[in-house]
Chain A
Amino acid sequence: MWDGIGDFLAMGGHAPWVWGSYGAAAVLLVLEMVLLGRRRQRAYALLRRRARARQTAAVGHEAGGDA
């Protein structure tokens, strides 16, 4: 259907509109995934910190009880 890669990229003269649409979609979706991935890692890091704090507190409590 296309006469080479140049013809494909030219989109019959509609390149700015077609690629402007698909490019924006790619950027927005990747951005959404990256932002959510970072938010997820932050949440997990916070949960792990809280878990460690809880364990430390529990150990401290036991030690305190023994003494």
Chain B
Amino acid sequence: MTRKRRISWFKFASPPAFVALVDRLAPWLWAGAVLLAVAGLYVGFFVAPPDYQQGNSYRIMFLHVPAAWMGMFLYLLMAVYAIIHLSWRVRLADVMARSLAPTGALMTALSLWTGSLWGAPTWGTYWVWDARLTSTLLLLFLFLGYLALHASASDREKGGRAASLLAVVGVVNVPIIYFSVKWWNTLHQGMSVTPTDAPSMAPSMFAALMLMTAACWLYAAAIGLRRAQVEALEREVDSEWAQRMAGSTEGAEAPVPEPGAGRMADERGQG
């Protein structure tokens, strides 16, 4: 029983099985992300009332907080894959880490941008060098540094190992970001949502925040897996299985799926 399950897990660590798995998962992840985002935006803009202090500017929270959480989470996940890559030389782990970095950078940039636009009407400034903001900026630089290092060496394996090392070292920054509002006196407000306490906001606001967070999760999963799939195929351009999965017949319009190519032909052009 245990043995059987273990084998099926290893199966998805092989690139062909992974590529096929992403083809099955991605449409559901996209659909879920869109549905949850529509629901979250509806609740966030048409159900949740204006804040008694901040008016309507607080609605930036529904974007800012999920993006900030996702940036930190993707960094942690990237570091886990980096450890697996460094420890056991699993190629697919490097593919995963490399594929999460652009989305992590995007989410972190978005949290900084929306935070800045939220700070302007709320604090009266777009930027301060306080602990929360500065450590989040550092997170963005860590993502970009990872990507630059990965691309730096002519030998992909070498560049990947250097980048993985940076990812692992930089992970200390994540708890610093998360607890910065507790450890230091910051202009940034404290945690409104913690794993232990009841959220300090109206239920409809909290509902919108959770829906947008879930949408953000599914989006990141969809785009991260899709990028990992492309990355895995790009690294295997000369192998027969990858060529078979891309559909070996001409034209993108009417490819004939080969046995084992799964549903890839239907979904080409997505994400």
Contacts and interface: CB of A to CB of B under 8 A. Distances in A.
A17 B271 contact: no
Contacts of A50: 237-238, 243
Is chain A's interface secondary structure helix, strand, loop, or mixed overall? helix
A63 interface: no
B211 interface: no
A24 B115 CA distance: 12
A24 B60 CA distance: 12
B84 interface: no
Interface residues of A, number: 35
A45 interface: yes
Contacts, number: 111
Interface residues of B, number: 49
A24 B46 contact: no
Contacts of B244: 51
A36 B226 contact: yes
B237 to A, nearest CB: 6
Contacts of A43: 230, 233-234, 237, 246
Contacts of A44: 233, 246-247, 252, 268
B152 to A, nearest CB: 20
A37 B64 CA distance: 26
Interface of A: 1-2, 8, 11-14, 16-18, 20-22, 24-25, 28-29, 32-33, 36-37, 39-41, 43-48, 50-52, 54-55
